[in-house]
């Protein structure tokens, strides 16, 4: 490594930092509005969530600053070590963790709770980037795929043990990273079709669905192939997989936990009581819809502020935004997120180092799945899954982990002129 100190400031991507800062500040003002307490109007009143969020965001800024001071090579060199420490703490929290809201996943140090699950994504991202950036790696090799998947699945298993299904689901986003690094696009397609089939099997008739699959298989066989043995095996295999998904749906559905089944029911709109299991989603939709085109105005939201929408400062913070800023404000934020995602992809693509690129894609993919699932669930497009909206939801550990993810990438990017090993 070269010991010559070069200022990285000219190489820092200030645009991304600007977007990050804007989103964090919007989030903070939004939290202020969501939990606004007339008895404690001060933005810095630390007894209120907006006061606490100020502490979280200041410490996040300090952390970002410290990351920028760190040598870029630190992260690639110690990638596996950091991965190991975090995975170990995920296991440890099983035994010394505290129960908060049904999840046995918090370390408590004084009055501060730390949820190592939030760091799981960071660990996987580091480990995966390190592994895939090895020069001899080819995604086409089955062994490589399995090792990569093992890197992802190990933390997922521990996290599932802690009942953090939502967090575990976000890790599926690494499929984008693997796709970028050479995984067959068919796997992406198969994953997508599996979800579609699962939903169709839940709402529709399985027999009709099976007949349609059979029809498609036969049509494919006769129209697009020469009906050689190889073709028949392929199409037959695909058909078998499709039928397995369709007829296995009920089995899978039945083995979900009751609250997960309910969330799927709510999402599908079947047999839902708007005052019971459907309450959260219904209220979230009402809050969003009632915002109208221009919103009710800052601090003027009723559905969120009056507690109709649950968790309106954390997982459902997007509702507060939609209600008070209307379509104009909400669409702006969604498009700003998209801008950030595209920017990160752009930055990742300009890396000379495979580690930095892969890490960058991991950041973009994780941000994307959090945004998509969170925004999608408040709109009723996705079953309710309790995960935070990056930079906007109230809470220290989520803000820190998103900041950590992003700024390590920005640090790597600032160092892009040097090739990392």
Residues that bind another protein (CB under 8 A): 176, 179-182, 185, 274-275, 283, 285-293, 302-303, 306-308, 322, 326-327, 330-331, 334-335, 337-338, 341-342, 345, 349, 354, 361, 364-365, 368, 371-372, 375-376, 379, 381
Q: How far apart are CB 264 and another protein at their closest, in Å?
A: 19
Distance, C-alpha 304 to centroid of its chain: 24
Q: Which residues contact 395 (CB under 8 A, 6 or more apart)?
A: 56, 314, 388
3-class SS letters over 100-146? ECCEEEEEEECCEEECCHHHHHHHHHHHHHHHHCCCCCCCCCHHHHH
DSSP per position, 350-376: T-SSHHHHHHHHHHHHHHHHHHHHHHH
In the complex, the smallest distance separating the C-beta of residue 212 from another protein, rounded to whole angstroms, is: 25
Q: How buried is 164 (Cβ within 10 angstroms: 0-12 exposed, 13-18 middle, 19+ buried)?
A: buried
Alpha carbon distance 138, 228 (integer Å):
30
Nearest distance from residue 261's CB to another protein, in Å? 20
**What b-and-e string marks burial along 228-256, b requiring 16 or more CB atoms within 10 Å of the CB?**
eeeeeeebeebbeebbebbeebeeeeeee
Q: Which CB atom, from 180 or from 263, has the smaller least distance to another protein?
A: 180
Closest distance between another protein and the C-beta of residue 22, in Å?
Answer: 17
Q: Are 290 and 303 in contact (CB under 8 A)?
A: yes
CB of 151 to another protein, least distance (A): 20
Q: Which is nearer to another protein, 272 or 334 (CB)?
A: 334
Instruction: Write out the H or E segment, with its range, that includes residue 98.
Output: strand 98-100
CB of 317 to another protein, least distance (A): 15
Both structure tokens of 277: 């299991």
* Minimum CB–partner distance for residue 334 and another protein (Å): 5
Q: What is the dihedral of CA 58, 60, 62, 66, to 10 degrees?
A: 180
**Residue placing its CB nearer to another protein in the complex, 12 or 334:** 334
Residue 164 vs 181, nearer CB to another protein? 181
**Nearest residue (CB) to another protein, 356 versus 403:** 356
| Dihedral, CA of residue 104, residue 110, residue 111 and residue 117, to nearest 10 | -30
The residue to which tokens 């820190």 are assigned? 400
Note whether 326 and 293 are within 8 A (CB). yes
How far is residue 361's CA from residue 357's CA, in Å, rounded to a whole number? Answer: 6
Q: Whole-number minimum distance, CB 110 to another protein, in Å?
A: 32
Written as six digits, the tokens of 233 are 């095996």
CA-based R_g, the chain, Å: 23
Cβ nearer to another protein, comparing 1 with 342 = 342
Residue among 25 and 335 whose Cβ is closer to another protein: 335
CB-nearer residue toward another protein: 86 or 321:
321
**Residue among 61 and 279 whose Cβ is closer to another protein:** 279
Q: Find the shortest distance in angstroms from Cβ 146 to another protein.
A: 20
């Amino acid at each position: 490594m070269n010991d010559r100190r070069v200022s990285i400031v000219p190489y820092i991507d200030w645009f991304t930092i600007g977007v990050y800062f804007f989103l964090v500040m919007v989030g903070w003002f939004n939290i202020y509005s969501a939990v606004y307490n007339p008895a404690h109007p001060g933005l810095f009143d630390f007894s209120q969530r907006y006061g606490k969020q100020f502490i979280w965001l200041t410490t996040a800024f300090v952390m970002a600053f410290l990351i920028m001071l760190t040598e870029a090579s630190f992260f690639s060199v110690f990638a596996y070590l950091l991965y190991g420490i975090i995975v170990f703490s995920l296991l440890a929290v099983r035994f010394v963790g505290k129960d908060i809201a049904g999840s046995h996943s918090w370390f408590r140090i004084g009055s501060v709770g730390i949820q190592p699950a939030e760091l799981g994504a960071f660990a996987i991202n580091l480990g995966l980037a390190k592994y895939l950036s090895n020069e001899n790696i080819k995604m086409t090799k089955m062994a490589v795929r399995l090792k990569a998947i093992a890197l992802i699945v190990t933390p997922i298993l521990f996290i599932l043990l802690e009942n953090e299904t939502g967090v575990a689901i976000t890790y599926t986003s690494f499929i984008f990273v693997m796709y970028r690094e050479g995984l067959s696009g068919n796997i992406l397609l198969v994953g997508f079709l599996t979800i579609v089939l699962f939903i169709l099997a839940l709402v529709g008739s399985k027999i009709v669905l099976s007949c349609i699959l059979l029809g498609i298989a036969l049509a494919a066989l006769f129209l697009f192939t020469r009906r050689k043995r190889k073709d028949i095996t392929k199409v037959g295999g695909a058909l078998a997989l499709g039928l397995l998904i369709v007829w296995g749906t009920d089995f899978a559905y039945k083995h979900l936990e009751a609250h997960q089944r309910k969330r799927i029911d709510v999402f599908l709109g079947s047999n839902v009581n708007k005052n019971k299991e459907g309450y959260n989603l219904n209220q979230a939709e009402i809050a969003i819809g009632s915002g109208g085109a221009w919103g009710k105005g800052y601090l003027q939201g009723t559905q969120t502020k009056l507690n109709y929408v649950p968790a309106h400062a954390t997982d459902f913070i997007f509702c507060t935004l939609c209600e008070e800023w209307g379509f104009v404000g909400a669409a702006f934020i969604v498009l700003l997120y998209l801008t950030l995602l595209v920017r990160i992809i752009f930055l990742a693509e300009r890396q000379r180092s495979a580690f930095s690129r892969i890490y960058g894609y991991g950041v973009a993919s994780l941000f994307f799945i959090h945004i998509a699932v969170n925004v999608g669930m408040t709109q009723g497009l996705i079953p309710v899954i309790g995960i935070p909206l990056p930079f906007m939801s109230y809470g220290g550990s989520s803000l820190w982990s998103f900041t950590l993810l992003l700024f390590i990438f920005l640090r790597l990017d600032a160092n892009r002129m040097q090739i990392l090993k």
